[in-house]
């Protein structure tokens, strides 16, 4: 069986959020209900040398949906077994079982499952099931104007783009074995020593 | 309702650009033509701007002259492609009917060989002079010198201080420079009412941590931004991506005054000067000095 | 979980109060010098209180579900979900308490008492362990501190001893004093627990509502303990206990507010 995954190019991503809005459009999500979100990272600082400022700040963006992990903590934690792995290897929610307790969101290190306020149950990225079964890319991937997203069999992506599975501020891939390949931004390598933090918590 | 509609005595139901035909090119020097076909019919009673004018022209009795023989929007686009673009800047472009049928949307002028700027002039400046009074690249412009405003329109390229700047006495009262950058979720003021894009990029005033901590402002606090021209209250976003001494209020937000006349929508225009720029007679929208405080 | 869910705070707190009451009740049954009948009547009231606390807690837990119509599904995933196991333990304890209360109505014999005490005590401890496991997720860094399981031990003892103290204050003042002293010591632990939490979140120097309540409880504890040791019942008695319990409740609110999710 194929395992699908996303490729996220943080070098080319401009943080424009087209993928986020394309996802909301395709899945008819309300404003603020994000299956795909963009994390803005900023770090570094300004140096004030007698009124002359030198700039050392940096910023990069990480576009993140559900990583459809191979070892999903949400599936393990869900008390109802609503959270399950589908036949195409995607992690999905059975709406007939979900109680909307939100425990999956706590368990997920990527904050992927979101409460759908209209139904009172959890909801999340379903890999655009209807599109990928027609051999099309998920909406977010096709919408990206920077071509910073890619989608496909994780083994193929791995050969094409390498095998980096994490970047600041994402959790260690050991935790859930996420099916994502990341092209790390150069500043992400020194993010932890250069005072980096999430700059747009309000929008997540 | 848009702020301009609030000022209007009469509001006509105009449709969006997706409900009528249109065509544009990449500005004055662009190498592309973009076709904007009608995707859906105008809903309800809405009409395109052109259709509204056509209906008015009937009442004025100038229908034939205005429409030049009864052309509708699509006819005009076809005429423009076939008679203007194809006869001037884009001779190789397919005719309208073929272009529209192909659903390509964009025509790009093909490039057959690399272009070098001022190629002929650089090879033989005497035979191919430039379109300047001296025929050369002018470091000192006699034409600009003749304008007699060397202070504001210098004949040599040099730095000029803005009318509002951080270096004179006024800066003691309003120490921060404000700018209004083009913001991701909007095209100028279009889409300010689009919940999806605006939710991803909410209207915030961007402040450097150095300026914010001096004033006791935390991320997400409501702050008052004001100068002698106006005031607004907006939520803050503390970020290192803006330089110390500068704040940024993204342009294009809709004006939304409260009962005291303080703008809550974050429209940077209420802080800008109405003085025209000396040469282009444009609006000097980045020439703003302000101060901020926790609201 | 950036904004804490008050329903959940109340649920954990009431459930733990119930477990604490069961455990401290066993000590009371042995230490009391009152007559057998008197002991068993008080014991039965304490049991009823524990049962009511547990049921109320369970009702509060429903309030945090966004789709309670499916609530019965919550037991589906005993195999891997700590939350399912927690709910199962909660229900088992509920039935043990109910059975115990009914048995107690028929007999005051010691044998079934000890069996039920052990059964309820073990399932209570198991419940608290499962609760800790439910919340100590690798993705919630704010709760992955030793302070967190500690607070789940402090709360049962604190609220349990307070309730028993109120039961005994009039009838058995000498034993009540011991419970109150025990309460005061546990309150000190609660304070230390809160400080550890704050140290983890680098908010030790911040003065806020939590600090205000802890400070007030600490100040009022002095006259309260003094008057208790002198065997006098004054108002500061009630104020101290209530304040201390509010502090512990706020400590739970604080813990679940600053969960620091991985993202």
Q: Which of B200, B240, B245 faces A21 most closely, judged by CB atoms?
A: B200
CB pair distance less than 8 Å for C65 and A39: no
- Going by C-alpha positions, the residue among C1, C3, C260 that lies closest to residue C145 is C260
For the stretch C210-217, contacts whose Cβ atoms lie closer than 8 Å and that sit 24 or more positions apart, written own/partner, are C210/C247, C210/C250, C210/C251, C210/C254, C213/C243, C213/C246, C213/C247, C213/C250, C214/C247, C216/C243, C217/C187, C217/C243, C217/C244, C217/C246, C217/C247
CB pair distance less than 8 Å for C263 and A111: yes
Residue of A nearest to C83 (CA): A79
Residue C109 lies inside a defined structural domain of this protein: yes
Structural Rg of chain C based on CA atoms: 19
Question: How many structural domains does chain C have?
Answer: 1
Q: What is the DSSP string of A116-176?
A: ETTTTEEE---TTHHHHTTTPPPHHHHH-TT--EEEEEHHHHHHHH------TTSPPTTTT
Coil, strand or helix: which one is B285? coil
Residue C212 lies inside a defined structural domain of this protein: yes
- Would you state the structure tokens that stand for residue C23, as one six-digit string? 């455990």
pLDDT tier, C1 (very low <50, low <70, confident <90, very high otherwise): very low
Q: Which of A31, A46, A202 faces B220 most closely, judged by CB atoms?
A: A202
Q: Does A145 touch chain B (CB under 8 A)?
A: no
Residues 135-174 of C with CB under 8 A from A: 137-140
Which tens digits make up the pLDDT trace of A16-37?
Answer: 999 999 999 999 999 999 999 9
Which tens digits make up the pLDDT trace of C141-172?
Answer: 888 888 999 999 999 999 999 999 988 888 88
Neighboring chains of C (3 or more beta-carbon pairs < 8 A) = A
Q: Which of C76, C139, C259 faces A108 most closely, judged by CB atoms?
A: C139
| pLDDT at position C74 over 50 | yes
| pLDDT at position A191 over 90 | no
Residue C43 lies inside a defined structural domain of this protein: yes
Share of chain B above pLDDT 90, in %: 74
CB pair distance less than 8 Å for B200 and A59: no
Residue C1 lies inside a defined structural domain of this protein: no
Q: Which of B199, B208, B244 faces A32 most closely, judged by CB atoms?
A: B199
Q: Which of C1, C70, C259 faces A99 most closely, judged by CB atoms?
A: C70
Q: What is the DSSP string of A45-109?
A: -EEEETTEEEE--EEEEEEE-----SS-HHHHH-TTS-EEE-TTS-EEE-TTT-----HHHHH-T
Residues 134-193 of B with CB under 8 A from A: 184-185
pLDDT at C109: 67
Are B270 and B263 in contact by the 8 Å Cβ rule? The answer is yes
CB pair distance less than 8 Å for A20 and B184: no
| pLDDT at position B225 over 90 | yes
CB pair distance less than 8 Å for A99 and C65: yes
Cβ-Cβ contacts under 8 Å, C140 against chain A: 106
Q: Does C262 touch chain A (CB under 8 A)?
A: yes
Cβ-Cβ contacts under 8 Å, A105 against chain C: 1
| Distance, CA of B79 to CA of A183 (rounded, Å) | 48
| Distance, CA of C36 to CA of C32 (rounded, Å) | 9
Cβ-Cβ contacts under 8 Å, A198 against chain C: 263
Q: What average pLDDT does range C15-33 have in this prediction?
A: 92
pLDDT at B162: 84
pLDDT at C233: 63
**Burial class for A95, CB neighbours closer than 10 Å (0-12, 13-18, 19+):** middle
Interface mutation target, options A13, A21, A33, A146, chain B, most CBs of B under 10 Å = A21
Place of tokens 């092209």: A183
Q: Does A38 touch chain C (CB under 8 A)?
A: no
pLDDT at C235: 63
Residue C262 lies inside a defined structural domain of this protein: no
What integer best gives the mean pLDDT of chain C? 88
pLDDT at C144: 86
Neighboring chains of B (3 or more beta-carbon pairs < 8 A) = A
pLDDT tier, C3 (very low <50, low <70, confident <90, very high otherwise): low
Place of tokens 């033509």: B33
Architecture of domain B170-294 in CATH?
Beta Barrel (2.40)
CATH code assigned at C67: 1.20.1630.10
CB pair distance less than 8 Å for C75 and A101: no
The domain A4-203 having CATH identifier 3.30.70.20: the answer here is: yes
**Beta carbons within 10 angstroms of residue A133's beta carbon:** 10
Q: Does C6 touch chain A (CB under 8 A)?
A: no
More confident residue, A75 or C228: A75
Q: What average pLDDT does range B112-140 have in this prediction?
A: 91
Residues 140-179 of A with CB under 8 A from C: 169-171, 175
Interface mutation target, options A41, A75, A80, chain C, most CBs of C under 10 Å = A80
Q: How many CB pairs under 8 A join A and C?
A: 101
Q: Which of B196, B220, B239 faces A199 most closely, judged by CB atoms?
A: B239
Kindly report, as residue ranges, where domains of CATH 2.40.40.20 are found in chain B. 170-294
Say which range, A99-103, C34-38, C234-238, has the weakest mean pLDDT: C234-238
| pLDDT at position C21 over 90 | yes
Q: Which residues contact B83 (CB under 8 A, 6 or more apart)?
A: none
- Going by C-alpha positions, the residue among B68, B71, B13 that lies closest to residue B42 is B13
pLDDT tier, B56 (very low <50, low <70, confident <90, very high otherwise): very high
Which tens digits make up the pLDDT trace of B67-103?
Answer: 999 999 999 999 999 999 999 889 999 999 999 999 8
| pLDDT at position C2 over 60 | no
Provide the domain limits for residue C145. Answer: 6-257
pLDDT tier, B271 (very low <50, low <70, confident <90, very high otherwise): very high
Say if C and A touch: at least 3 Cβ pairs within 8 Å: yes
Are C14 and C53 in contact by the 8 Å Cβ rule? The answer is yes
pLDDT at C111: 66
CB pair distance less than 8 Å for A198 and C263: yes
| pLDDT at position B187 over 80 | yes
Residue C80 lies inside a defined structural domain of this protein: yes
Are A67 and A179 in contact by the 8 Å Cβ rule? The answer is yes
| pLDDT at position B176 over 60 | yes
Are C196 and C145 in contact by the 8 Å Cβ rule? The answer is yes
Cβ-Cβ contacts under 8 Å, C74 against chain A: 79-80, 99, 101
What integer best gives the mean pLDDT of chain B? 92
Place of tokens 């000590």: C27
Say if C and B touch: at least 3 Cβ pairs within 8 Å: no
Cβ-Cβ contacts under 8 Å, C83 against chain A: 77, 79, 101, 103
């Amino acid at each position: 069986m194929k395992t699908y995954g996303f490729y996220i190019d943080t070098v080319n991503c401009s943080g424009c959020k087209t993928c986020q809005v394309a996802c909301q459009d395709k899945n008819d999500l309300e404003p603020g209900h994000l299956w795909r979100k963009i994390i803005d990272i900023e770090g570094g600082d300004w140096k004030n040398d007698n009124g002359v400022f030198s700039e050392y700040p940096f910023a990069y963006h990480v576009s993140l949906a559900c990583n459809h992990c191979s070892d999903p903590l949400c599936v393990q934690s869900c008390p109802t077994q609503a959270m399950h792995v589908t036949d195409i290897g995607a992690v999905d929610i059975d709406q007939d079982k979900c109680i909307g307790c939100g425990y999956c969101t706590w368990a997920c290190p990527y904050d992927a499952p979101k409460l759908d306020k209209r139904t009172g149950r959890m909801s999340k990225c379903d890999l655009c099931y209807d599109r990928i079964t027609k051999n099309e890319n998920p909406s977010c991937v096709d919408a990206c104007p920077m071509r910073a997203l890619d989608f496909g069999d994780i083994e193929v992506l791995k050969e094409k783009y390498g095998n980096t599975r994490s970047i600041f501020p994402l959790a260690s891939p050991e935790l859930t074995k996420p099916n994502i390949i990341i092209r790390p931004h150069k500043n992400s390598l020194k993010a932890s020593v250069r005072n980096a933090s999430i700059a747009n918590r309000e929008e997540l | 309702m848009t702020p301009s509609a609030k000022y209007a005595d009469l509001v006509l139901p105009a449709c969006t650009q997706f409900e009528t035909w249109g065509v544009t090119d990449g500005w004055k020097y662009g190498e592309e033509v973009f076709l904007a076909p009608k995707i859906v019919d105008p809903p309800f009673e809405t009409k395109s701007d052109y259709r509204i004018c056509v209906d008015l022209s009937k009442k004025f009795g100038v229908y034939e002259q205005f429409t030049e023989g009864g052309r509708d929007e699509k006819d005009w686009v076809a005429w423009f492609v076939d008679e203007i673009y194809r006869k001037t800047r884009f001779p190789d472009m397919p005719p309208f009917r073929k272009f529209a049928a192909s659903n390509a949307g964009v025509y790009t002028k093909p490039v057959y060989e690399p272009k070098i700027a001022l190629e002929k002039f650089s090879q033989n400046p005497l035979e191919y002079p430039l379109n300047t009074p001296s025929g050369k690249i002018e470091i000192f412009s006699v034409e600009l010198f003749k304008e007699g405003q060397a202070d504001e329109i210098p004949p040599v390229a040099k730095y000029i201080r803005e009318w509002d700047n951080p270096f004179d006495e006024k800066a003691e009262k309003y120490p921060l420079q404000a700018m209004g950058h083009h913001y991701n979720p909007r095209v100028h003021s279009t889409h300010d009412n689009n919940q999806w894009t605006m939710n991803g990029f909410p209207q915030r005033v961007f402040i450097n941590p150095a300026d914010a901590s001096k004033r006791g402002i935390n991320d997400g606090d409501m702050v008052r931004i004001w100068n002698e021209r106006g005031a607004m209250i907006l939520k803050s976003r503390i970020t290192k991506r803006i330089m110390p001494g500068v704040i940024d209020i993204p342009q294009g937000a809709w004006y939304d005054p409260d009962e005291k006349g303080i703008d809550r929508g974050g429209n940077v225009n209420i802080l800008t000067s109405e003085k025209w720029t000396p040469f282009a007679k444009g609006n000097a929208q980045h020439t703003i000095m302000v101060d901020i405080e926790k609201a | 979980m950036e904004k804490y869910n008050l329903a959940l705070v109340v649920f954990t707190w009431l459930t733990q109060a119930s477990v604490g009451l069961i455990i401290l009740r066993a000590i009371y049954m042995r230490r009391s010098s009152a007559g057998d009948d008197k002991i068993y009547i008080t014991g039965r009231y304490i049991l009823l209180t524990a049962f009511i606390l547990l049921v109320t807690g369970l009702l509060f837990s429903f309030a945090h579900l966004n789709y309670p119509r499916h609530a019965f599904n919550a037991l589906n995933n005993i195999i891997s979900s700590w939350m399912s196991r927690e709910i199962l333990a909660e229900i088992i304890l509920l039935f043990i308490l109910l059975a115990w209360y009914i048995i107690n109505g028929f007999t005051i014999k010691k044998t079934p008492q000890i069996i039920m005490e052990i059964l309820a005590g073990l399932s209570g401890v198991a419940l608290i362990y499962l609760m800790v496991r439910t919340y100590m997720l690798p993705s919630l860094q704010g709760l992955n501190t030793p302070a967190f399981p500690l607070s789940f031990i402090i709360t049962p003892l604190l609220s349990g001893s307070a309730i028993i103290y109120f039961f005994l204050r009039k009838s058995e003042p000498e034993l009540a004093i011991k419970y109150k002293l025990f309460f005061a010591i546990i309150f000190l632990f609660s304070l230390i627990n809160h400080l550890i939490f704050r140290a983890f979140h680098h908010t030790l120097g911040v003065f806020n509502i939590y600090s205000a309540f802890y400070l007030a409880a600490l100040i009022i504890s002095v006259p309260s303990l003094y008057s208790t040791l002198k065997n006098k019942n004054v108002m500061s008695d009630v104020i101290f206990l209530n304040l201390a319990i509010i502090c512990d409740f706020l400590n739970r609110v604080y813990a679940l507010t600053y969960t620091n999710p991985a993202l």
